[in-house]
Structure 1
Amino acid sequence: MTTLSQNLLDLSDFAWQRLRQRVEGLTDDEYLWEPFDGCWTVRKTDDRYVADGSRIPPAPAPFTTLAWRITHIVDVLQAERTATWFGHTATDDKPGVPGSAAAALEALDHAYEIWRRRLAALSQQDLDRPMGEIAGPYAENDGTSFALHILDELIHHGAEVGTVRDFYQGLRAEDPFPAALSGELTPADRPALLAEAAAAQRWDIVRQLADLGFDVNARTAGGITAAHLAAGTGALDTLRFLVGCGADLSVTDTQYDADVRGWAEFFRQAEVVAYLGSQGTKAR
């Protein structure tokens, strides 16, 4: 039987992995993008960056940039209270407000490492015990309720980050496939393009890109290969083609740790499962 502590840790890791994949490739322009007047963001003051804020936030709340949102997630995860409210001691260094996309990703990784270590160290007693005076108005709440609160912060702010990225990228949408098919975009320029075509279910483009030398085993930013996607959607002809091009059916994706047959079985693609069985694959 899975313990409460392990369930909390598993949920945290799942939410973190989803967020971390959503911010992969973040640029400085995107990080500091202000789509409206009056946005809250991070601003350079003297030799450091500071996040906009107010002890009493204005109503309605201002739109917050990716810089502000990511900084907030960092602050939530590494705050002293994620140790002290559980009765533990906070001894970790906390870096300053990140002023660039690269610094933000580094700060996110650091903050999550702190939070995960603290969460993993909690005993059942820590989770069951009322937090006491240190938690102020939440003194009677137990550790589990506080752990769930931090996970809610990670999940809902992570979803906001993903949504803002979608807005930014949607306004600058590009179709890279014509450039690839004309030879202007090469496998060296965009190694994962064939996997991206599979994610868009552009199966005709997948075949053409493979013929042009794009890697059939490349992964999307989410860690998924074209073979996984073909198997999961039931695109059997494309999967056969990919196998003929050397697709590795044993590779596992980074989100569910499942191989290609595992995807076919999960999405109930019976014909694909039968075909993969004929190839001698076993699901993982």
Structure 2
Amino acid sequence: MTTLSQNLLDLSDFAWQRLRQRVEGLTDDEYFWEPFDGCWTVRRTAGGYAADGSRIPPAPAPFTTLAWRITHIVDILQAERTATWFGHTATGEAPPVPGSAADALAALDRAYEIWRGRLDALSQDDLDRAMGPIAGPYAESDGTSFALHILDELVHHGAEVGTVRDFYRGLNPDDPFPAALAGDLTPADRPGLLAEAAAAQRWDVVRQLADRGFGVDERTAGGMTAAHLAAGTGELDTLRFLIDRGADLSLKDTQYDVDVPGWAEFFQQREVTDYLTARRRAGSGA
């Protein structure tokens, strides 16, 4: 039977992986993008950077940039209270205010490492026990309720980050495929581009990119190969093409840890499953 602690860790890891995939490839322009006047963001100061804020936020709350939102997630995960409110000792450095997209991703990774370590260290007694005076108005709440609160913060702020990226992408569309097909973008420049084409369901582009030397076993930011995506969407002709080009069907994606036949089965792509089964039997001589 799965323990409460393991369920909390699994939920935390799932939310984290989803967020980390959504921020992959973040640029400085996007990080500091202010679509409206009056946004809260991260601003340069004499000593580095600082986030806009107020002890009592204005109502309605201002729109916050990706810089502000990611800094806020870092603060939440790495705050001392994610140790001390559980009765543990906080160790490690104070969270930074990142001044670039690259620094933000590094800070986010570090903050999650700290939070996950603290969550993993909790005993059942830590989760069951009332937090006491250190938690102020939440003194009577137990550790489980606080852990769930931090996870809620990770989930809903992570969703906000993803939504802002969607807005930015809609206003600043990135279509790298023409440049790749023209030879101006090479596999060394963007190794996973063929997998990105499969994720966009640009199946004709997948074939053209393979002809230009883009790897068929490279992955998207989410950890899927083009073969996973072709199998899961039922795109059998493309899957056959990828297999002819040497695609490794045994590779597992990094999110669900499932191989290519497993994707076809999970997404109920019967024609693909039957093809892969027949292919495997023919290969084994059965």
TM over 0.5: yes
- In the aligned structure 1, how far is the partner of 2:87 from the partner of 2:188? 52
Question: Counterparts of 1:149 and 1:18 in 2: how far apart (Å)?
Answer: 18
SS in 2 for 1:127: helix
Partner of 2:50, secondary structure, is: strand
The residue aligned with 1:175 is 175
1:280 Cα deviation from its structure 2 partner? 2.5
Q: Provide, for residues 170-205 of structure 1, a one-character-per-residue CA deviation record: whole Å limited to 9, x for no partner.
A: 211132223322333332332222111111111122
Q: Secondary structure at the match of 2:49?
A: strand
1:210-233 Cα shifts (integer Å, max 9, x gaps): 122211111111111100000001
**2:233 touches 2:269 (CA, 8 Å); kept in 1?**
yes
1:177 maps to amino acid: F
Gaps of 5+ in 1: none
Map of 2:116 onto structure 1:
116
Name the CA shift for 1:269/1:252 in 2 (closer, same or farther; >3 Å).
same
Query: How far apart in 1 are the matches of 2:185 and 2:133?
Result: 61
Counterpart position of 1:21:
21
Supply the distance in 2 between the matched residues of 1:260 and 1:25 (Cα, whole angstroms): 25
- Corresponding residue SS for 2:214: coil
Output the CA distance in 2 between the equivalents of 1:84 and 1:95.
Answer: 16
Is the contact between residue 95 and residue 111 of structure 2 (CA under 8 Å) also seen in structure 1?
Answer: no
Instruction: Report how far residue 24 of structure 1 moved.
Output: 1.1
In 2, the alpha carbon distance for the partners of 1:87 and 1:191 equals: 46
Matched residue of 1:252: which SS? coil
Q: Report Cα offsets for 1:62-119 as digits up to 9, x if no partner.
A: 0001110000000000111111111111122124211111111111111111100000
TM-score of the pair, normalised by structure 1: 0.96
Q: Partners of 1:220 and 1:96 in 2: how far apart? A: 29
**Alignment partners' CA distance in 2, 1:48 and 1:183:** 41
Moved more, 71-80 or 25-34: 25-34
CA distance, structure 1, for counterparts of residue 211 and residue 195 of structure 2: 14
For residues 25 and 79 of structure 1, what CA distance do their matches in structure 2 show? 26
Secondary structure of residue in 1 paired with 2:43? strand
The worse-fitting range, judged by mean Cα deviation, of 20-29 and 151-160 is: 20-29
Q: Does 1:150 align with 2:153?
A: no
Count of aligned pairs between the two proteins: 281
The separation in 2 between residues aligned to 1:268 and 1:75, in whole angstroms, is 42
CA displacement 1:33-61 (0-9 Å, x = unmatched): 11111110111111221110001100110
Other-structure match for 1:252: 252
Q: Within the alignment, does 1:211 sit opposite 2:244 as a pair?
A: no
Matched with 2:284 is: none
Alignment partner, residue 56 of structure 2: 56
1:237 paired residue number = 237
Instruction: Name the residue aligned to 1:273.
Output: 273
SS of residue in 2 equivalent to 1:155: helix
2:62 paired with 1:74: no
Helix, strand or coil at the partner of 1:280: helix
CA distance in 2, matches of 1:150, 1:279: 47
2:92 paired residue number: 92
Q: CA-atom RMSD, angstroms?
A: 1.3
Local SS of the residue matching 1:206? helix
Specify the code of the residue in structure 1 equivalent to 2:238: T
Q: Which runs of 4+ in 1 moved over 6 A?
A: none
Shift of 1:6: 0.1
**Range moving further from structure 2, 184-193 or 54-63:** 184-193
Closer, same or farther: CA 192–160 of 1 in aligned 2, 3 Å = same
Alignment-mate amino acid for residue 130 of structure 1? A
Aligned residue in 2 for 1:7 = 7
**How high is the TM-score relative to the length of structure 2?**
0.95
C-alpha distance in 1, partners of 2:162/2:134? 34
Matching residue's letter, 2:169: Q
Give the SS at the match of 1:114: helix
